[in-house]
Structure 1
Amino acid sequence: MLSAYASTINPADPLAALEVGDRRNPDPPPGWVTVTVKAATLNRHDLWSLGGVGLAETDCPMILGCDAAGIDDEGNEVIVHAVIGDAEAGGGDETLDPRRSLLSEKYPGTLAQRVMVPRHNLVHKPAELSFAEAACLPTAYLTAYRMLTTKGRLPKNGAVLIQGAGGGVATAATLLARAMGARVYVTSRDAERRRLATELGATAFEPGARLPERVDVVIESVGEATMDHSLKCAKPGGRIVLCGTTSGHLAEIDLRRVFFLQLELLGSTMGTHAELVALTDFCVTTGIKPLIDSTYPLSRTRDAMAKLAAGEVYGKIVIEP
């Protein structure tokens, strides 16, 4: 079957490790099923894998991709939950299973014509979402949803700051938070990204700017460059929820602000099967449609990855086998 895969790892030039070609069809073990992929999407995780982050050379060749929507072996339209883990081992949360992994780390991923997953990782795809829209949900949108709800505990009529407008999680968080009725503030160094964020209903600022109010929740994926600003923008008792460190991971924190204002600094990674179901229902109820930047055939995955690597994306890149 046609697949996009890491033939090796290359920290200096990740795209040089990418190949598009034939790989063997999946042979699912008991309890697993095969899904015919109708749409998949790209994530920074794919570039990290090509560069050797979370993927060893001994694990290659490895089919990339975490997100997919398609048709299972019984003819059902489904969304694939990318977290392979045991909820019981994680105290009811598979993302806390010490042995959990994502598709494309230990098991072949979704950038292929077919993918195998545990049957319990399938979520019903509603008719209200296209395959392309549904394929946007399992990573970026699920991460943002968990950050806003389970971790951030966004109150009704609350306020949110989202650092780094334009990234996958940041864009998802903007759309979701607005649908939740929140006042949404975003930052970006790029004027065009600030303009696009305002079209999604946010109020946009340059990094480090003073906000009109302190916020209940900060969605933080930038890290080192924005962490001080995030702490200063949180109201007493507020939550700073961190899912990434694109600018660096060694941020200096004024601990006095943390304890005096009783701030919560919370890590968040992906989401659970139950949260993906809730997110899907939320999209249907509110009419939210994930923002799609562009669509490529699987045969042009290299072009799509190059666009992602160049930072020329606003929304999700969809890959259609």
Structure 2
Amino acid sequence: MLAATAVSQSASDPLSGLELRDVPVPAPAPGWSLVKVMASSLNMHDVWTLRGVGHPADRIPMILGCDAAGYDEHGNEVIVHPVLGDPEAGGGDVTLDPNRALLSERHAGAFAEYLTVPTGNLVPKPSWLSFDEAACLPVAWGTAYRMLFTRARITAGDRVLVQGAGGGVASAAIKLAAAAGAVVYATSRSEAKRAESLTWGARAAVPSGDRLPEKVDVVIETVGEATWAHSLKCLKPGGTVVIAGATSGANPPADLNRVFYQQQSVLGSTGCTRAELVALLRMMEATGVRPVVDRTLPLAEIHQGLRLMIDGALTGKLVIHPNA
């Protein structure tokens, strides 16, 4: 089968380490299932692996891809929950297991015609959801759901700022928060992405770093250094920043005086549980909210897709078809 495999790592030229290879179809271990991948989607995690960030070199080569939707060996349509670990080790929350791993970190990922995962990681795909839409959900939409509803616990009427509109997590957060009745503000350097965020339910969208119409209760932060100071300044006293990524850098000035004086909270968030993925599906069914798919590409053109993501040229998610 064809698979997109990280064979080397380079901070300056990450795509040089990605090869399309013909590899054997994997055989599932006891308690695992074989999935025919109909759709996967790109995440910045794939780029970080190729850059050598958070992924040790001794785990290379590795088939990349964290998201997958397809058919199990019985012909059932499924979505793969991509966090592999022991929920009991995390006190019932697999994302808190110190030894958890995202698909493609320690186990071959989803940029392939087939993959194997623990059977318990399979979630039935609803008939009202396409494979392309389903492949956008596990990492980006699952992350946004946990940030908003598990960590920040937003309710209708809350004011929410989403930094960096246009990315997969950001587009999900805007749509989900708006669907939950929050007043959503968005930022982006791109005028086109700001305009697009208004169609997703944002009340207003401003250039990155600009003043908002009002202070907010919650900031959804995945950008990091470039937006961190702005995120804290936009918060009401007692407000909360939830951070699940740092694409522009992970060492912003802390501004601790502001944090303690205004009693702000900073919460980390990583991925989602299987139960949160199921809850996300229920919310999507009830509200009609769907992922933003920028475009689809065959696996043979994955280098082009990753380049578009690195260059910030995508709005929403790019879906890969391994069996195209």
TM range (shorter): over 0.9
Query: Is the Cα–Cα contact under 8 Å of residues 54 and 105 in structure 1 kept in the other structure?
Result: no
Distance (whole Å) between structure 1 residues aligned to residue 281 and residue 188 of structure 2: 28
1:228 aligned counterpart, secondary structure:
helix
Is this contact kept in 2: 1:63–1:112, CA < 8 A? Answer: yes
The answer to whether residue 45 in structure 2 is matched with residue 45 in structure 1 is yes
Q: Which residue of 1 aligns with 2:315?
A: 314
Check whether the contact 2:299–2:321 (CA below 8 A) recurs between aligned residues. Answer: yes
Matches within 5 A, 1:244-255: 244-255=245-256
Which residue in the other structure is 1:34 paired with? 34
Asked whether the 8 Å contact 2:37–2:69 carries over to 1, the reply is: yes
**For the residues of structure 1 that align with 2:230 and 2:69, how far apart are their CA atoms?**
37
Correspondences of 1:1-321 after superposition (within 5 Å) = 1-202=1-202, 203-321=204-322
Q: Note the C-alpha offset of 1:66.
A: 0.3
Question: Which region of structure 1 is more displaced relative to structure 2, 209-218 or 112-121?
Answer: 209-218
In structure 2, list runs of 5 or more residues that go unmatched.
none
Q: In 2, Cα distance between the equivalents of 1:289 and 1:127?
A: 13
CA shift for structure 1 position 236: 2.4
Residue 12 of structure 1 deviates from its aligned partner by 2.3
Of all paired residues, the percent bearing the same amino acid is: 55
Cα separation, 2, equivalents of 1:186 and 1:76: 38
SS in 1 for 2:271: coil
Q: Distance in 2 between matches of 1:182 and 1:130?
A: 27
- Offset at residue 239 of structure 1 (A): 1.0
2:169 is paired with a residue whose SS is helix
Counterpart Cα distance in 1 of 2:86 and 2:239: 31
For residue 256 of structure 1, report the CA deviation from its aligned partner: 2.7
CA–CA distance in structure 1, aligned partners of residues 155 and 238 of structure 2: 12
Deviations 1:120-154, CA, capped at 9 Å, x for gaps: 10111001100000010000111111100001111
After TM superposition, the score normalised by the length of structure 2 is 0.96
Name which of structure 1's ranges 257-266 and 294-303 shifts more when overlaid on structure 2: 257-266
Does the CA contact (< 8 Å) of 1:9 and 1:56 recur in 2?
no
Q: Letter of the aligned partner of 1:189 in structure 2?
A: R
C-alpha distance in 1, partners of 2:279/2:248?
31
Q: Secondary structure at the match of 2:281?
A: helix
Q: CA deviation at 1:163?
A: 0.8
Taking the aligned partners of 1:94 and 1:38, their CA distance within structure 2 comes to 26
Between the aligned partners of 1:155 and 1:274, the Cα distance in structure 2 is 20
C-alpha RMSD of the superposition: 1.2
Further displaced range: 225-234 or 35-44: 225-234
Distance (Å, rounded) in 2 between the aligned partners of 1:107 and 1:244: 22
Alpha-carbon distance, 1:197 to partner: 1.2
CA distance in 1, matches of 2:258, 2:19: 48
Q: Give the drift of 1:56.
A: 2.8
Shift of 1:306: 1.6
**Any gaps of 5 or more consecutive residues in structure 1?**
none
Is contact 2:194-2:205 (8 Å) kept?
yes
Alpha-carbon contact 1:296-1:318 (below 8 Å) kept: yes
C-alpha displacement of 1:172: 1.0
Q: Is the 8 A contact 2:155 2:180 kept in 1?
A: no
Q: Which amino acid aligns with 1:250?
A: N
SS of residue in 2 equivalent to 1:170: helix
How many residue pairs get aligned? The number is 321
Query: What are the Cα deviations for residues 12-39 of structure 1, in whole angstroms up to 9, with x where unaligned?
Result: 2110011112112112211111111110
Q: TM-score, normalised on structure 1? A: 0.97
